[in-house]
Amino acid sequence: MIDSRRIESVAGSSGLRPTFDARTPYEVFEREHRILREGVAGLRSALRSEPPGSSARLVESVDTVRGQLALHFAFEEDSGFMHYLRFARPALVPGIERLQSAHREILAVLTRVSTELNNGLSGIDVRATIAAVLEHLANHELDERELLRSALLSG
């Protein structure tokens, strides 16, 4: 049976070829993260321009980023560089496990923020939490970039 999650990714959902290719490892990696950064920019913009008393656009942006990240994380784990390195570089498995824990944490925070906004909290109430989770996400991307780079350098 074909697991449909294996071919999904944020790049794949926009019609681009989503397969991780060990010969060109950075190509898919960069494309994926470029699309994510566009979603994050939309969320930052919604956070800045949220009118008092309304959180509709902010909820939509949080949910959009959360949906993109859920696809992206599943792709990394099941078909992307983590899946590849887990078999090609067993010594890196502890680092991969830490990155996967970060996936769970980031999604959990965004789910909580979305629920809180739907329950009546305002953008001001969740601003610090969103800023913190976006910083976590940026650091996470740096960590996985470093893991991939070190794996490729070690041949």
User: Which residues of the chain form contacts with Fe ion (CB under 5 A)?
Assistant: 76
CB of 140 to Fe ion, least distance (A): 6
The DSSP code for 38 is H
Name the closest residue to Fe ion (Cβ).
76
Q: How far is the CB of 51 from Fe ion (least distance, A)?
A: 32
Structure tokens at 102: 């970060």
Q: Are 1 and 9 in contact (CB under 8 A)?
A: no
Nearer to Fe ion (CB atom), residue 111 or residue 122: 111
Give yes or no for a contact between 95 and 85, defined as CB atoms under 8 angstroms apart.
no
CA 77 to mean position of chain CA atoms: 11
Nearer to Fe ion, 50 or 76 (CB): 76
CB 133 within 8 A of CB 109: yes
By beta-carbon proximity to Fe ion, the closer residue of 8 and 76 is 76
Minimum CB separation of residue 72 from Fe ion in Å reads: 6
